[in-house]
Chains A and B, each alone.
Chain A
Amino acid sequence: MGIIDNINKLFDHRIRLGIMSILMVNESADFNRLKELLEVTDGNLASHLKTLEKEAYISVDKQFIGRKPNTQYSATKKGKEAFKKHIDALEKLLNT
């Protein structure tokens, strides 16, 4: 068991790391807000959101605002814990 074990493979990607960073400090964010903050394309963002959703790190809430579909994403407890662990591991790595 080394500290490297706590480095989460899922967060090894810039966009997935970014999504989690935003959802850690916001109760929820919709698709367009994430896109605007991360400066990525629709398809790219969608596929990374899917990955995080499959892992149950984020929860997805689909609703309608008028006629327009609106999808809200938020971090789950599991996701928050995994993210915290990842950050701790990063900090430990950098301090050694």
Chain B
Amino acid sequence: MLFKVLYNMSNEDYLKDISEIKQLMNRSSRFISLSGLSGIFAGIYAIVGALIAYFFLFPEPGDYLILDSWQFRWLLIDLGAVALLSVLTAYLLTTSKAKRNDEKIWDATTQRLLLHFLIPLVAGGIYILIKLNSQHYGLTGSLMLLFYGLALINASKYTIGNIKYLGYVEVVLGLICAAFPGYGFWFWVLGFGVCHIIYGSLMYVAEKK
């Protein structure tokens, strides 16, 4: 009888321990719990953006992509819209979740994560723009995948371990893409659309568990 009472007491303590562990893990690295849904949305935006580009903005087969054409300008706007919508969705999902859990959105974790994500990404973005300006647009898809993958791997040090696998996949896709010139568009759809949706869904299922 005494044993039973003691046992139940420690059981309750251990339960409390477990819930405290979970709470601390979530609070100290909240990005993991959001990446699922944001990933799915980012993938959908990328595919919609790619479809728009494919049907309306790409030059006819045999034609060249001319840099000061209206098509090219709309292509950039299309790309910018995909990026902006993805970031905005991730931001809104993060803030709403943070509010629900009564957390600060702008703390040391977020700052470090963003900084380390942006360094490779901005460097790559500038590089691509410089190359585009000198008419070297052949490897744009490959470069975007590579730098985005490296940005994810770099940022993954400040969040739980899963996002780095998405980063590895993007880097590998970027390298394969470099070996197959002319298929950049399809690799881009695969990397930014399909991979995001697959990764997002996997994360989403894992979060629900």
Contacts and interface: CB of A to CB of B under 8 A. Distances in A.
Contacts of A27: 157-158
A6 interface: no
Interface in A1-60: 14, 17-18, 21-22, 24-27, 29-30, 33, 36-38
Contacts of A87: 18, 21
Interface string B1-37: 0000000000100110110110011011100100000
B15 A94 contact: yes
A25 B11 contact: no
A17 B20 contact: yes
A93 B17 contact: no
B44 interface: no
B17 A22 contact: no
Given A17-B20, A27-B157, A27-B158, A22 B25 contact: yes
A24 B17 contact: no
B18 A37 contact: no
Contact of B28 (A17, A22, A30, A93): A22
Given A17-B20, A25-B28, A93-B14, 10 more contacts: A14-B20, A18-B20, A21-B28, A22-B28, A25-B160, A27-B158, A33-B108, A87-B18, A94-B11, A94-B18
26 contacts: A14-B17, A14-B20, A17-B21, A18-B24, A21-B20, A21-B21, A21-B24, A21-B25, A22-B24, A24-B25, A25-B29, A26-B29, A26-B158, A27-B157, A27-B158, A29-B28, A33-B28, A33-B108, A37-B24, A37-B27, A90-B14, A90-B17, A90-B18, A93-B11, A94-B14, A94-B18
